[in-house]
Amino acid sequence: MSQAAKQDANEPTRTGLSRGALKRAVLDNLFYVMGRFPEVASASDRYSAVAYTVRDRLLERWIRTARYYKERNSRTVCYLSAEYLPGPHLLNNMLNLGITRTAGEVARELGADLAEIRETEEEPGLGNGGLGRLAACYMDSLATLQIPAIGYGIRYEFGIFDQVIVDGWQVEKGDTWLRNGNPWEIPRPKLTFPVGFGGRAEHYTDKHGVIRRRWLPDLMVNGVAYDTPIMGYGVTNGNLLRLWKSEAPESFNFQAFNVGDYYGAVHAKIEAETLSKVLYPNDEPVAGKELRLKQQYFFVSCSLQDMIRLQLRNAGTLDRFHEKYAIQLNDTHPALAIVELMRLLVDEHFMSWEQAWEITRNSCHFTNHTLLPEALETWPVALFERLLPRHLEILYEINRRFLDEVRVHFLNDEERVARMSLIDESDGRKVRMAHLAAVGSRAINGVAELHSSLLKTTIMRDFHDLWPERFHNVTNGVTPRRFMVVSNPPLADLISDTCGHADWIRDMRRLRELEAHADDAGLQGRWREVKTAAKGALSDWLGQHTGFRPDPETLFDVQAKRIHEYKRQHLNLLHIVWLYEHLKQNPNAELTPRTFIFGGKAAPGYFMAKLIIRLIHAIGEVINSDPQVNGFLRVAFMPDFNVKNGQRLYPAADLSEQISLAGKEASGTGNMKFAMNGTLTIGTLDGANIELRDEVGHDNFYLFGMTAEEVQQRQAEGYRPWELYHGDAQLRSAVDLIASGLFSHGDTELFRPITENLIHSDPFMVLADFHAYQERQQEVDRAYRDPNHWTRMSILNTARIGKFSSDRAIAEYAKKIWQIEPAPVELAD
């Protein structure tokens, strides 16, 4: 018997992991699921056949987990998030099952190439940026740490738009991620919940003669569950990502149909289905759109009904709901959960207000992700009332009781009462979602130390005065599985080789073992080879997709994230323009050849962000075609920055730009992904940069710029950017060069909104930090010329990045916030 056949014979189930079992399954799936024989299969057919093969193996583990959790009635985390950005599933799932290598061999034996199969996969772009990606990292770590968890969200039919660049402008294209089907999800048509909208609330007398209140909605929509398994790394546990799709209740169009109103019947169906059609593509600023409020209520209501169903099935009563579930609200988007849970408990399950509030407030926990005032969600009371009349009544009652508590705590302070109210009365009446989330939650946390402490002194100050014990910090983390092992296998292998084990993948603090080798010439050489190869691969990709192939020998200086003024891509650009001028005037200047690479999407309605993308391209066009500077300076833009493309970028970067104005970036997580891949950071004392710098060592981080405190002080004194502009010749000439039309074929109008804004208002203090930034960049320039020194710093960044694993973050949530224990699942029965 051959080796493979022997292994097969030992495998009891059809979901074996041996080469033979995998090969047979791929061929079977190609034939029976895709209906193809190998000779005519397309790349997409091959991808699906492999994906179904992997999925079958996940399901086995996943179902065992579900059964085990059910039997144990385990305490469960319910992560409520309007966004998830899981990235491509295939390789991640192979890694978690431990079959990456075998699957590669099987693909080869079948005459296919795993790399090609992998390229075919569409990623679910069900989020905008950091917040959605964080939710996906946390799902990964919850499973890996064997914590029972369900991620609840929305199954958007169209996720974040695809970005294409036309004449230097961003053009948005609809995202059709479901076009070829989605092998990772399992529809659960039986698991459907009704969700109401509109109508009115009324009194009625129940069968015991008690007068009660109830809601009579005038529109009903169904939420149907779609489940995606989320496996842990190297464990049997698999958790559940449960996303809701909206549908029209089947029965409801018949009446209209029968009276001949065919159009009316179909229209109502379309209206219902619109709910989960498309993700709002705004990152920080919030679109106060009715549909968005509907989406929020829709997914929150389905999720809570699902939890209640499970609890009634397991316990028969809801009295201990809060002991069973720890609900985590990912920002304010799901904050309606607090009101909806009250409504379900009081109106539908006839619980007393007091008991229902006790349960609600002990179930919910709230994470804040931004201090930007324009991102704080509020809803006009009139809109809220029209869509959710009964919820508004409940919200008023929560508010009435809450404000009484405030009055008792702070005697004679009606100004404070007005500031803290769930209703903002100052400018039209609005519901304040952050206040709702704070009042209804046991714990409130920020996402980096600086952010958590600013929360307490700025937007949540009054709440901190009232309930200091509810405030926590949990610094963000990202998963090393996706951002090291899946994106950068050669680096992962080199690390495992050097440390003599692969345990760091699960215990990132063990990366510290690399430190002892940081000066080792052998490791340094191999480390550089890995980086250079990644740069080559990125260059090839950019060459294919943009026509410009950067030279991998140059320093790759990367800023990849959403385009936003507070993130200051324009500070980076001003420096590039300054460098350009400097080079033109000093052709013999000693300079490290550099390629500046940008990536990121702009919200479609955000004019300045779109103009910044145009400016990046405009500057690139002039600089890249100027032979006088070509050897030293180039600018590239990676179109359609998403998880998949990010995976090409992080391994290839030498320098990572984390240059937001201090106090604005809640945490940032790109900073962590770059540093894991041995990228050095140039950054401000903002968000998690501060902790990152403390971890990797101040000598291995390029710090510049004002502190958050200095920013506040400067603003209080009155910030006058025009004085900086007039007082600094280099700065002025960089701004003027943009205004001159050099980068816009003589058009002096095109970029005027950017230059005028910088000179006259500069809300993110680009000019104030310019000088410090430029000086630090010169230091980077010099340091890169000493490869051994640079490589040592690079190794130390990776070696000391352990804190920023999402495993650490989830362990902290489990202990400090949720009080939940791991529940390891064994594969054998």
- Interacting residues with ligand NTF (CB under 6 A): 129-131, 134, 283-284, 331, 369-370, 375, 447, 476, 665-669, 687
User: Rounded to an integer, what distance in angstroms lies between the CA atom of residue 702 and that of residue 200?
Assistant: 59
Phi, psi of 517 (to 5 degrees): -105, 5
User: Rounded to an integer, what distance in angstroms lies between the CA atom of residue 41 and that of residue 53?
Assistant: 16
Q: List the catalytic residue out of 481, 561, 601, 648.
A: 561
669 tagged catalytic: yes
Q: How many CB atoms lie within 10 A of CB 13?
A: 9
User: Rounded to an integer, what distance in angstroms lies between the CA atom of residue 439 and that of residue 423?
Assistant: 13
CB 766 within 8 A of CB 570: yes
Q: How many CB atoms lie within 10 A of CB 724?
A: 20
Phi, psi of 404 (to 5 degrees): -60, -40
Phi, psi of 322 (to 5 degrees): -70, -20
Q: List the catalytic residue out of 64, 155, 242, 369.
A: 369
Shortest Cβ distance from residue 384 to ligand NTF (Å)? 20
Shortest Cβ distance from residue 666 to ligand NTF (Å)? 4
Shortest Cβ distance from residue 788 to ligand NTF (Å)? 33
**Distance separating the N- and C-terminal Cα atoms of the chain:** 29
Helical H runs in 73-159? 90-97, 100-109, 114-120, 130-144
Q: What is the dihedral of CA 342, 329, 125, 665, to 10 degrees?
A: 140
Mention every residue, 6+ apart, whose C-beta is less than 8 A from residue 701. 680, 681, 683, 692, 693
For residue 740, give Cα distances in angstroms to 18, 625, 744: 65, 18, 9
595 tagged catalytic: no
Question: What tokens appear for 235 in the block?
Answer: 């464990």
Burial class (CB in 10 A: 0-12, 13-18, 19+), 735: buried
Shortest Cβ distance from residue 369 to ligand NTF (Å)? 3
Please say which residue, 476 or 498, places its beta carbon nearer to ligand NTF. Answer: 476
629, amino acid identity: V
Please say which residue, 15 or 805, places its beta carbon nearer to ligand NTF. Answer: 805
> DSSP characters for 454-492?
HHHHTTTHHHHHH-GGGEEE----B-HIIIIIIT-HHHH
Please say which residue, 655 or 672, places its beta carbon nearer to ligand NTF. Answer: 672
Shortest Cβ distance from residue 805 to ligand NTF (Å)? 15
Q: List the catalytic residue out of 562, 601, 664, 693.
A: 562
386 tagged catalytic: no
User: Rounded to an integer, what distance in angstroms lies between the CA atom of residue 225 and that of residue 328?
Assistant: 19
Please say which residue, 375 or 742, places its beta carbon nearer to ligand NTF. Answer: 375
User: Rounded to an integer, what distance in angstroms lies between the CA atom of residue 268 and that of residue 221?
Assistant: 10
Helical H runs in 172-289? 254-258, 262-274
72 tagged catalytic: no
562 tagged catalytic: yes
Shortest Cβ distance from residue 566 to ligand NTF (Å)? 9
What SS3 class is residue 740?
coil
Beta strand extents in 331-466 (DSSP E only): 364-367, 378-380, 423-424, 430-432, 443-446
CB 249 within 8 A of CB 221: yes
Shortest Cβ distance from residue 476 to ligand NTF (Å)? 5
Task: Give the HSE-up count for residue 91: Cα atoms under 13 Å, Cβ half-sphere.
Answer: 26
Please say which residue, 129 or 153, places its beta carbon nearer to ligand NTF. Answer: 129
> DSSP characters for 527-594?
HHHHHHHHHHHHHHHHHHHHS----TTSEEEEEES---GGGTHHHHHHHHHHHHHHHHH-TT-----E
Shortest Cβ distance from residue 803 to ligand NTF (Å)? 15
Please tell me what DSSP assigns to residue 348: I
Please say which residue, 131 or 652, places its beta carbon nearer to ligand NTF. Answer: 131
Shortest Cβ distance from residue 606 to ligand NTF (Å)? 13
Q: List the catalytic residue out of 365, 442, 673, 800.
A: 673
CB 651 within 8 A of CB 661: no
Question: What tokens appear for 2 in the block?
Answer: 């051959």
673 tagged catalytic: yes
Nearest CA-CA partner of 269 in 324, 224, 220: 220
Please say which residue, 561 or 648, places its beta carbon nearer to ligand NTF. Answer: 561
Shortest Cβ distance from residue 104 to ligand NTF (Å)? 33
User: Rounded to an integer, what distance in angstroms lies between the CA atom of residue 299 and that of residue 337?
Assistant: 9
Whose tokens are 């036309």? That residue is 166
Please say which residue, 15 or 658, places its beta carbon nearer to ligand NTF. Answer: 658
Shortest Cβ distance from residue 659 to ligand NTF (Å)? 13
Q: List the catalytic residue out of 15, 53, 367, 669.
A: 669
Nearest CA-CA partner of 150 in 283, 280, 244: 244
Element (H, E) at 792: helix 787-799
Shortest Cβ distance from residue 483 to ligand NTF (Å)? 14
Q: List the catalytic residue out of 19, 61, 343, 567.
A: 567
Please say which residue, 227 or 331, places its beta carbon nearer to ligand NTF. Answer: 331
Please say which residue, 524 or 660, places its beta carbon nearer to ligand NTF. Answer: 660
Please say which residue, 53 or 476, places its beta carbon nearer to ligand NTF. Answer: 476
User: Rounded to an integer, what distance in angstroms lies between the CA atom of residue 503 and that of residue 730?
Assistant: 50
Please say which residue, 663 or 668, places its beta carbon nearer to ligand NTF. Answer: 668
CB 239 within 8 A of CB 143: yes
Shortest Cβ distance from residue 284 to ligand NTF (Å)? 4
Please say which residue, 99 or 131, places its beta carbon nearer to ligand NTF. Answer: 131
Q: Which residues participate in catalysis according to the annotation?
A: 369, 561-562, 567, 669, 673
